[in-house]
């Protein structure tokens, strides 16, 4: 019997897990910590060129002797930052890692840091002036200064006030946003606001285990061998 919290293998914004693929998981379950614990609020603006990250994919970075994963969440599958966060809230984190990754650098102290092109809203103050009732009354992490009438530079609560592609409801601001395995309620962007986005790191999760998906023709074997170099539990799953 293993004790590693597991992510739920449902169809996600980026599709289903692929045979032979390797996935970093931060599982969910009873006794776990709330999603908000893992948010970075305010998010951390980045210069992608300086950090050497690209708008999709992962990069290993070393910080104080520990290697971590910088993972850019693609806007194609998760146009809203809240899409990814609500998915993690329900099913845990599951992010594909390239088989070329140097798995040997990962340890139990490694974290996976998520980047999104929309994670920092430069003109967040405009949103704060038109806050819609919803999941959060301003700051998901209950940072008191974020709840004051004067808006902070940016607060993660803005992710739930800036949702596109949601279905309309009776309330002109409230939308039901459908994802492959669930839907959530949030607020669409106020009509008169043109957002100014900057890429930012918006969440940091521990990595509970690596999962390799079995392939019918043994596609997983090479990946499993590489992943087993990590200082993390590596488990084989059917999906």
Partner 1 sequence: MSDAQPLLPLEEFAAAALPTEADDLRDMAILDGVPEHLFVLMLDQARPDVVAQRDAIKRLLAEGYSEREIAAVTPFNHAAIRRRLNLDHALPEILDLYRAGGASAAVLEQCAKLPEAVQRELLAVAVDKGKLTATDVANARKARAVAALDGLPDEMFAPEPAPPPAADWRAEVRAELEQVARRIPEDANDLRVHVQRLLKELEAIKA
Q: How far is CA 99 from CA 12, 28, 53, 93, 237, in A?
A: 20, 25, 18, 18, 16
50 interacts with partner 1 by CB under 8 A? yes
How far apart CA 106 and CA 210 sit, in angstroms, is 10
62 interacts with partner 1 by CB under 8 A? yes
112 interacts with partner 1 by CB under 8 A? no
- Return the residue of 8, 56, 60, 61 that touches partner 1, per CB under 8 A: 61
155 by Cβ neighbours in 10 Å (0-12 / 13-18 / 19+) ranks as buried
How far apart CA 136 and CA 194 sit, in angstroms, is 22
Question: Least separation, in Å, of the C-beta of 66 and partner 1?
Answer: 7
- Return the residue of 60, 66, 174, 198 that touches partner 1, per CB under 8 A: 66
Stretch 114-153: interaction string toward partner 1, x if CB under 8 A: ----------------------------------------
How far apart CA 140 and CA 146 sit, in angstroms, is 9
Judged by beta carbon, residue 113 or residue 210, the one nearer partner 1 is 113
Question: Least separation, in Å, of the C-beta of 141 and partner 1?
Answer: 12
How far apart CA 128 and CA 88 sit, in angstroms, is 25
Tell me the three state secondary structure of residue 120: strand
* Cβ within 8 Å of residue 204, ≥6 positions away: 38, 40, 111, 112, 113, 114
Stretch 205-234: interaction string toward partner 1, x if CB under 8 A: -x----------------------------
Judged by beta carbon, residue 48 or residue 74, the one nearer partner 1 is 48
How far apart CA 93 and CA 23 sit, in angstroms, is 9
Count, residues near partner 1 per rule CB under 8 A: 20
DSSP, res 176: E
Question: Least separation, in Å, of the C-beta of 68 and partner 1?
Answer: 6
Length of the chain (residues): 239
Footprint (CB under 8 A) of partner 1, residues 14-43:
40
With contacts defined by CB under 8 A, name the span among 46-54, 78-86, 174-182, 216-224 that binds partner 1: 46-54
Q: Which helix (DSSP H) or strand (DSSP E) does residue 223 occupy?
A: helix 220-227
105 interacts with partner 1 by CB under 8 A? no
203 by Cβ neighbours in 10 Å (0-12 / 13-18 / 19+) ranks as buried
204 interacts with partner 1 by CB under 8 A? yes
Residues in the site for partner 1, rule: CB under 8 A? 40, 44, 46-47, 49-52, 61-64, 66, 68, 109, 111, 113, 201, 204, 206
């Amino acid at each position: 019997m293993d004790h590693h919290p597991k992510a739920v293998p449902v169809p996600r914004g980026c599709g289903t897990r692929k045979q032979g693929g390797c996935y970093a998981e931060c599982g969910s379950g009873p006794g776990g910590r709330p999603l908000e614990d893992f948010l970075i609020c305010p998010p951390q603006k980045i210069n992608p060129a300086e950090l050497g990250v690209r708008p999709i994919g992962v990069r290993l970075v070393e910080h104080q002797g520990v290697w971590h994963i910088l993972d850019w969440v693609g806007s194609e599958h998760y146009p809203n930052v809240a899409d990814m966060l609500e998915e993690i809230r329900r099913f845990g984190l599951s992010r594909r890692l390239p088989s070329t990754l140097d798995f040997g650098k990962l340890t139990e102290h490694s974290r996976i840091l998520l980047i999104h092109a929309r994670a920092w809203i430069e003109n967040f103050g405009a949103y704060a002036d038109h806050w819609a009732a919803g999941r959060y009354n301003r700051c998901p992490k209950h940072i008191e200064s974020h709840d004051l009438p004067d808006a902070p530079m940016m607060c993660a609560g803005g992710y739930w006030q800036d949702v596109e592609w949601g279905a309309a409801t009776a309330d002109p601001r409230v939308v039901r946003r459908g994802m492959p395995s669930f839907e959530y309620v949030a607020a669409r962007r106020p009509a008169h606001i043109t957002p100014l986005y900057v890429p930012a790191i918006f969440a940091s999760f521990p990595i509970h285990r690596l999962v390799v998906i079995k392939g019918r023709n043994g596609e997983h074997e090479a990946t499993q061998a590489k992943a087993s170099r990590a200082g993390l539990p590596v488990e084989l799953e059917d999906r």
